[in-house]
């Protein structure tokens, strides 16, 4: 009898070691939020996912919420730790608590294994679990240093689309995975352009090293259209799209709606007709038309590896982007380029953000005696292109300053103007580089800024250009309307000739005076 039992145990042990699906279904317990501890009954899509883990070294999972994928990943980790020696598993998430939750799932499953399957622990705490066979799992918050730890058997990136500086983490982890380690990156979508989105697209197209696994809400057998409608009510349309539909475009917290950006990309974005400059980063879509007015709006980079200098050339009338630069020229060379391109585009109004190092570039432009440099006053009144020619010489008198100053007051204004132009679809963007930056330009604690690890140089310079263009045009229009009102009033004043008077009279006797008191006056004296 004892020998029979030993054979059964041996047979079961071998089955479990060979097949993680069998191990999870037959011997693992999970913590259900309502029912408590229950057997881990896998759905067909979960079984397929586990087999993907086993068959592919690198897996990226685009998933809907509440499909049990984190629990599944925890179970797969437990299987590796139980049946293989010296497995080193690291869980990285945007917060330590998120990473800790996955380790907790492993601990619950381990505690409920039968004794003949359970490995003896030599370390057991909230953030780690280590077995006597040398296998272990640890949880850490997002950190490049964590990814540079000892050689890894399995790297788990939980909610990867939300991890700060994940690009750096992935780069740092390469050395730790060179000994044959694998990776599981799982997440709901969080906008377009980040590492998770880019890696997913590559995998979906059959490029890169990752196997793609897409788990739409509909893969769950207990969910139907009524459930999906309920999610719209609970989470809102955008939240439900992110959490249920695996939709990158409508997910995330980008300042500009993702659908609008994608429509803009499809409608207008194209390869430039010319690439210029020392670094080939000056892109031209349309040459200057000498009958049109242009704005050149620039943001000066700090000069470090993480920051770029950027500018756009915008057709004032059409609000069309006709040229763009993004590169790492020094302040002097950048100033010379700005003067050159502004001169080429009909002495365009040149707007340079004057924060910090921007002054060095502005000074270069002033030294070159460029005639149409943008000046602004502290109350932001003097922005009409027609006033710029004299501002240079009257700067002190008018309390003017060269360039545009981004402050706590002006930043919300230019961001609001940027959002307005895109929302109303009244701007033509040719650059994929700009669209990519806009996708990663998000609200972070109610502040509009680039997602951590990304840039907003093109975005901010474009936003400044749109604000100045719109405000200048509005002021000019208001001036025209004021003139019209003045002329209309003059028509009612006695002794003033009007266009109507000219049309109605073909003799030398003209009617003058008010409408109610017309009088004849001979004009023969003009001869």
Domains of the chain: 2-244 (3.40.50.300), 258-477 (3.30.420.240), 497-527 (no CATH)
Average pLDDT, integer, range 386-414: 69
Q: What is the pLDDT of residues 117-132, one digit of tens each?
A: 999 999 888 889 999 9
In terms of Cβ atoms closer than 10 Å to its own Cβ (0-12, 13-18, 19+), residue 59 is: buried
Rg (CA), the chain: 33
The residue to which tokens 């505690």 are assigned:
111
Mean pLDDT lowest for which of 80-89, 222-231, 315-324, 427-436?
222-231
Closest by CA position to 157, among listed 201, 116, 85, 99: 99
Residue 251 has pLDDT above 70, yes or no: no
Residue 396 has pLDDT above 90, yes or no: no
pLDDT band, very low/low/confident/very high, at 267 (cuts 50, 70, 90): very high
pLDDT band, very low/low/confident/very high, at 395 (cuts 50, 70, 90): low
The pLDDT score that the predictor gives to residue 174 is 85
**507 vs 96, higher pLDDT:** 96
pTM of this prediction exceeds 0.95: no
Average pLDDT, integer, range 101-109: 92
Average pLDDT, integer, range 107-112: 92
The pLDDT score that the predictor gives to residue 60 is 96
- Continuous segment of H or E residues that includes residue 315: strand 309-315
Average pLDDT, integer, range 490-512: 50
Expressed in angstroms, the distance from the first to the final Cα of the chain is: 137
Out of 353-357, 463-467, 502-506, the most confident range is 463-467
How far is 336 from 363, CA to CA, in rounded Å?
A: 11
Evaluate whether 100 touches 10 at the Cβ level (below 8 Å): no
- The whole-chain average pLDDT of the chain stands at 83
SS3 39: strand
Residue 381 has pLDDT above 70, yes or no: no
Residue 423 has pLDDT above 80, yes or no: yes
Mean pLDDT lowest for which of 3-17, 69-83, 181-195, 248-262?
248-262
Closest by CA position to 342, among listed 328, 358, 322: 322
Residue 71 has pLDDT above 80, yes or no: yes
Q: What is the pLDDT of residues 217-236, one digit of tens each?
A: 999 998 888 888 888 888 88
Average pLDDT, integer, range 2-19: 87
Closest by CA position to 95, among listed 193, 163, 168, 179: 163
How far is 83 from 18, CA to CA, in rounded Å?
A: 9
Closest by CA position to 142, among listed 184, 97, 187, 181: 97
**429 vs 197, higher pLDDT:** 429
Average pLDDT, integer, range 440-465: 86
The contacts of residue 181 (CB under 8 Å, 6+ apart) are: 151, 152, 153, 154, 155
How far is 117 from 75, CA to CA, in rounded Å?
A: 14
Phi first, then psi: give them for residue 294, nearest 5 degrees: -130, 155
pLDDT band, very low/low/confident/very high, at 150 (cuts 50, 70, 90): confident
DSSP 495: T
Average pLDDT, integer, range 475-501: 52
**492 vs 421, higher pLDDT:** 421
Residue 499 has pLDDT above 50, yes or no: no
The pLDDT score that the predictor gives to residue 525 is 52
520 forms beta bridges with 511
């Amino acid at each position: 009898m004892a020998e029979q039992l030993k054979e059964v145990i041996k047979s079961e042990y071998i089955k479990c070691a060979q097949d993680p699906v069998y191990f999870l279904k037959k011997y693992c317990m999970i913590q259900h939020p309502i029912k408590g501890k229950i057997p881990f009954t896998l759905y067909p899509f979960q079984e397929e996912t586990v087999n993907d883990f086993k068959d592919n070294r690198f897996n990226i999972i685009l998933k809907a919420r509440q499909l049990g994928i984190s629990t599944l990943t925890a179970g797969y980790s437990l299987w590796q730790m139980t049946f293989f020696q010296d497995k080193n598993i690291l869980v990285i998430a945007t917060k330590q608590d998120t990473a800790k939750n996955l380790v907790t799932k492993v601990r619950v499953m381990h505690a409920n294994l039968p004794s003949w399957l359970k490995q003896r622990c030599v370390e057991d705490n909230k953030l780690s679990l280590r077995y006597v066979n040398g296998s272990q799992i640890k949880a850490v918050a997002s950190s490049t240093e964590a990814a540079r730890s000892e050689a890894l058997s399995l790297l788990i990136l939980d909610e990867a689309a939300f991890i700060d500086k994940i690009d750096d983490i992935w780069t740092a982890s390469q050395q730790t995975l060179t000994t044959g380690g694998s990776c599981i990156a799982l997440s709901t979508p969080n906008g377009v352009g980040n590492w998770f989105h880019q890696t997913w697209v590559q995998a979906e197209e059959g490029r890169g090293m990752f196997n793609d696994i897409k788990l739409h809400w509909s893969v769950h057998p207990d969910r139907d259209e009524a459930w999906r409608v309920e999610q719209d009510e609970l989470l809102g349309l955008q939240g439900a799209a992110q959490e249920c539909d695996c939709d990158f475009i409508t997910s995330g917290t980008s300042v500009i709606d993702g659908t609008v950006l994608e429509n803009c990309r499809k409608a207008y974005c194209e390869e430039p007709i010319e690439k210029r400059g020392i670094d080939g980063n000056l892109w031209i879509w349309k040459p200057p038309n000498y009958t049109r007015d242009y704005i050149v709006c620039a943001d000066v980079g700090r000069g470090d590896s993480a920051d770029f200098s950027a500018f756009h050339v915008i057709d004032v009338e059409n609000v069309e982007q006709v040229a763009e630069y993004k590169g790492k020229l020094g302040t002097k060379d950048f100033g010379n380029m700005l003067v050159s391109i502004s001169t080429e585009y009909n002495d365009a109004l040149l707007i340079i953000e004057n924060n910090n190092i921007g002054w060095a570039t502005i000074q270069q432009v002033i030294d070159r005696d460029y005639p149409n440099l943008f000046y602004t006053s502290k109350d932001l009144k003097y922005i009409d292109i027609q006033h710029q020619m004299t501002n240079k010489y009257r700067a002190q008198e008018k309390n003017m300053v060269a360039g545009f100053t981004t402050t706590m007051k002006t930043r919300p204004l230019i961001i609001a103007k940027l959002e307005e132009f895109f929302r109303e679809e009244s701007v033509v963007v040719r650059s994929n580089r700009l669209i990519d930056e806009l996708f990663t330009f998000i609200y972070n604690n109610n502040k509009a800024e680039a997602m951590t690890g990304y840039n907003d140089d093109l975005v901010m310079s474009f936003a400044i250009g749109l604000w100045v263009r719109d405000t200048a045009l509005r002021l000019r229009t208001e001036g025209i309307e004021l003139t019209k009102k003045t002329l209309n009033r003059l028509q009612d004043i006695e002794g003033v000739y009007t266009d109507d008077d000219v049309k109605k009279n073909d003799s030398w006797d003209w009617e003058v005076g008010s409408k109610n008191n017309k009088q004849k006056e001979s004009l023969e004296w003009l001869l």
